[in-house]
Amino acid sequence: MNTTSISRSGVSRAGSDTALSSHHTIWRPALGLAAVMLVTCGLVYSATVTGLGGMLFPQQATGSLVLVDGKAVGSVLVAQPFSGDIYFHGRPSSVNTDPMSTGGSNLAPSNPALRDRVATESAILTERYQLSATELPVDLLASSGSGVDPHISPEAAALQLKRVAAARSIPADMLSKLVEQQTEAPQWGIFGQPRVNVLLLNLALDQQFPTK
Amino acid sequence: MDVMLILALALLLAWPLGAYMTGIFSGQKHWSDKVFGPVENGIFKILGVKASEGMNWKSYGIAFLISNLVLGVIAFLLLMFQHLLPMNPDGIGPLSWDLALHTAVSFLTNTNQQHYSGQAQLSYLSQGFVIVTLQFVTPAMGLAVCLAVLRGLMGGRNAKDAAEGEERDLGNYYQDTVRAVLRLMLPLAAVVALLLASQGVPSTYQASPTVPVVEQGQSLTEQKIPLGPVAAMVAIKQLGTNGGGWYGPNSSNPLENPTPVANAIETIALVLIPIAIVFMAGGLLRQRGFARMSLAVMGFLSLFCVGAAIYSEQQPNAAFSGLAEQAGNMEGKEVRFGTDLSALWATLTTQTSNGSVNAMHDSLNPVAGLVTRSGMLINAIWGGIGCGFVNFIVYVWIAVFIAGLMIGRTPEIFGRKLEKTEISWLGVLLVLPSAVILTFTAITVAIPAITGNSNPGLHGIAQVFYEYTSAFANNGSGFEGLGDNTPWWNISCVIVLLLGRYLPLVIPLLIAGLLAKKRQIPVSNGTLPLHNLTFGVTLVTVILILNFLSFLPSMVLGPIGEALELTSIAGDLK
């Protein structure tokens, strides 16, 4: 049964010119497949799913922008640079927190350049917070994979609390409450790490304890 | 905890999916025929193929190669001329010819190694149309070849009527490929894409908004938030063992992988189909015992590596010694994932030939670096869609051959003898990875001007070795510090990519075609059982010994040497 169709495959379409028809049966399906797939996967799938996603989740689908007084001030998902004393700071970024050129340091543990960078940062932080180096949370010294990691660990927030409270002349325990509110637990109680979104925390800070 | 939950969910979902795949590829009637049958028939008319018409291994292989060639040429041209084509709101320019060639071949071979930087160098058309299409079709093509090999193991679809030595029907390549895309990839990808969009992965054709930053007076005053039809691409990137992300740093970018739940979905998507294929193979071969043994062998190796990688990343990064608290290695990792979920991803993505990342592999501690490379070199722990299980069958053939020699019997698998011709071809497959990877690594390391790596010392060699390993294994992950967008890197990787994709698929197809034609020997007392612990242990041993023999020296020069180097540095600091 099937064996006969195998031996005929290639010549079964047009009997007259064998060479031409075998040419046909090799190239036509290949071209057809490429065309059909470009249309179904590249156009129909992409457009349908993208449209549907945008319709069902309009806020998330367009970059999770944060609005203050109706104006976008950033994306929840993208770290912003903060350096002043009145703000909490995020993690070191190898790309100056530019979301158009994201990336990590790509330095191996054995690379002296990594050691040098961490040593410099560590010296600055021990000086600023009057702590021994071995008390510094790792995530404040390690650069993130994306360069725009929007989060820091709760420990990294706790470290900065006194400095921010002093700079804004507010009691540390009031600020501590705010940080606690802004701390996210592992998602659905199990996935991922507890974390603080630096942009959201700083925006809440500006709102509750405005500076002039 | 979350690691175990993710793995358990993946296994639990792969089981019914495997049964579904058995149904759609078995040639029997299936409930999904009602939904997809009419569409498929329309497509077969356009293609001019009779889906019922079988192919022998040669026609199957030729159809596979020709359809790849056509798709590759089209992709290359579209990438080359993206600046003249529509859907380019950010006005992105053309790619150099060598970069366009590398990109086309890399996606065609289901590798998705990227020498370009995602959002900055490709237009919406290039990403959403060209690359997404390749990300659907190439895993389907790999799966098709795997199906043909499985049918060959059983003597072909015409095993009952054909005489010994007669050509065997290994299925219809176009039917298999179209079904894999339509009935498997598309529905799964649509679901995953919507789930990801709900978590915050962009899903829009709008141009990217620019926003002023909150604290002004710094070096960066505004941010352009890059958007696009990202969710649609990320879904198939994860499901199709593709790995090529929308953004440069892949799924470590919070826009591509925003939350821990998104990360769980993407991690499950990474291994879902590769695990399901094991269940499917059991169903199609009607060898449940063999499938259980395969699942146990792969599961054991996989879990062992996951454990080692997690342990590795929970150790401090040596460069931080004495400069920060004693805690896990967070360099190149994201706070929302932490060390464990990053190590889990790094292990699975290199085992499955996916190659997407959620943390930077360059900055992993040496043991995890070793794990990632082992996953790619073995390339059969789950493995890429289709090609992973084909590689696994190659290891099974070798193990059967060696076991046969040890007990003094002609090696046979499912009643068909492995003889001289088949063994010679297996020899080619054995030598191929080390010959290709080591040759190119040696040439590149020998000429520092073309190396372009970001790290000195042994890690520099490791970077080069990693790049070619990743290309050959069609993985696509990289030590991103490599300055790899140069003509040398682009072209040498193209060669490695092609050798690593087509020979390891076509040679097993040939062997399966030869095996299929042989007379089937009935099971007897002397038959080597393939479903028990003894064979499982033999197989694990064979897999490990083969890879140790091929790659131990280069591992010593790479991650092992680096680990020793770090120990001595740490000693000096004390």
CA angle B23, B29, B31 (to 5 degrees): 70
In a domain, B156, yes or no: yes
3-state secondary structure of B123: coil
B261 contact A CB<8A:
yes
pLDDT in tens, A74-125: 999 999 999 999 999 999 999 999 998 888 998 989 889 999 999 999 999 9
State the Cα–Cα distance between residues B354 and B271, nearest whole angstrom.
9
> Nearest by CB to A2, which of B157, B209, B211?
B157
How confident is the prediction for chain A on average, in pLDDT?
A: 88
Burial call B411-445: b when 16+ CB within 10 Å, e when fewer: bbbbbbbbeeebeebbeebbebbbebbbebbeebb
> Nearest by CB to A6, which of B56, B130, B215?
B56
Q: Which is more confidently placed, A96 or B455?
A: A96
State the Cα–Cα distance between residues B412 and B28, nearest whole angstrom.
28
pLDDT at B86 over 50: yes
Cβ separation B204–A84 shorter than 8 A: no
- Average confidence (pLDDT) over B96-123: 88
How confident is the prediction for chain B on average, in pLDDT?
A: 92
- Average confidence (pLDDT) over B148-174: 93
Chain A hits for B211, CB-CB cut-off 8 Å, are 65, 72-75
State the Cα–Cα distance between residues B201 and B259, nearest whole angstrom.
9
pLDDT in tens, A132-145: 999 999 999 999 99
pLDDT tier for residue A1 given thresholds of 50, 70 and 90: very low
How much of chain A is helix, strand and coil, in % rounded to 5?
Answer: 55, 10, 40
In chain A, alpha helices (H)? 2-8, 18-37, 46-56, 58-61, 112-129, 154-168, 172-182, 198-208
By the 8 A CB rule, do A176 and A56 touch?
Answer: no
pLDDT of residue A11: 36
In a domain, B413, yes or no: yes
In a domain, B398, yes or no: yes
pLDDT tier for residue B537 given thresholds of 50, 70 and 90: very high
- Average confidence (pLDDT) over B427-454: 88
pLDDT tier for residue B561 given thresholds of 50, 70 and 90: confident
Residues 156-185 of A with CB under 8 A from B: none
Task: Please report the beta strands in B390-481, taking only residues with DSSP state E, as ranges in sequence order.
Answer: 412-413, 416-417
**Helix-helix angle B458-472:B561-573, to 10 degrees:** 150
Cβ separation A134–B330 shorter than 8 A: no
pLDDT of residue A20: 41
- Average confidence (pLDDT) over B264-271: 97
Placement of tokens 């076509």 in the chain: B506
pLDDT of residue B281: 97
Query: B interface mutation test: which of A4, A13, A21, A46 has the most B CBs within 10 A?
Result: A46
Residues 353-382 of B with CB under 8 A from A: 357-360, 362-363, 365-366
By the 8 A CB rule, do A143 and B249 touch?
Answer: no
pLDDT tier for residue B148 given thresholds of 50, 70 and 90: very high
pLDDT of residue A22: 57
Q: Where are the domains of chain A?
A: 2-56, 63-208
Looking at residue A188, the DSSP 8-state letter turns out to be T
Chain B hits for A27, CB-CB cut-off 8 Å, are 66, 70
Task: DSSP for B316-364, please give it.
Answer: PPGGGTTTS-S----TT--TTTHHHHHHHHHHHHHHTT----SS-GGGS
pLDDT tier for residue B118 given thresholds of 50, 70 and 90: low
Residues 3-42 of B with CB under 8 A from A: 5
Chain A hits for B370, CB-CB cut-off 8 Å, are none
Measured CA to CA in angstroms, residue B549 lies from B20, B86, B434, B437 at distances of 39, 51, 10, 14
| Shortest alpha-carbon distance between residue B241 and chain A (Å) | 16
> Nearest by CB to B70, which of A31, A102, A153?
A31
With 0.90 as the threshold, say if the pTM is over it. yes
Q: Which is more confidently placed, B479 or B322?
A: B322
pLDDT in tens, B339-375: 999 999 999 999 998 999 999 998 999 999 999 999 9
pLDDT of residue A24: 63
- Average confidence (pLDDT) over B484-489: 88
Q: Which is more confidently placed, B135 or B525?
A: B135
In a domain, B184, yes or no: no
Q: How many domains does chain B have?
A: 1
- Average confidence (pLDDT) over A160-179: 95
> Nearest by CB to A203, which of B59, B211, B214?
B214
pLDDT at B134 over 50: yes
State the Cα–Cα distance between residues B5 and B123, nearest whole angstrom.
38
State the Cα–Cα distance between residues B548 and B374, nearest whole angstrom.
10
In a domain, B133, yes or no: yes
**Dihedral through CA B265, CA B269, CA B275, CA B281, nearest 10?**
140
- Average confidence (pLDDT) over B193-204: 97
Cβ separation A136–B323 shorter than 8 A: yes
Percent of the residues in chain B that have a pLDDT greater than 90, as a whole number: 74
pLDDT in tens, B406-417: 888 889 999 999
Strand partners, B224: B210
> Nearest by CB to A81, which of B56, B215, B224?
B215
- Average confidence (pLDDT) over B419-429: 95
Chain A, nearest residue to B90 by Cα: A100
Lowest mean pLDDT among B102-116, B172-186, B258-272, B287-301: B102-116
Chain B, nearest residue to A118 by Cα: B320
Give the range of the structural domain holding residue B457, as residue numbers without chain letter. 52-173+283-573
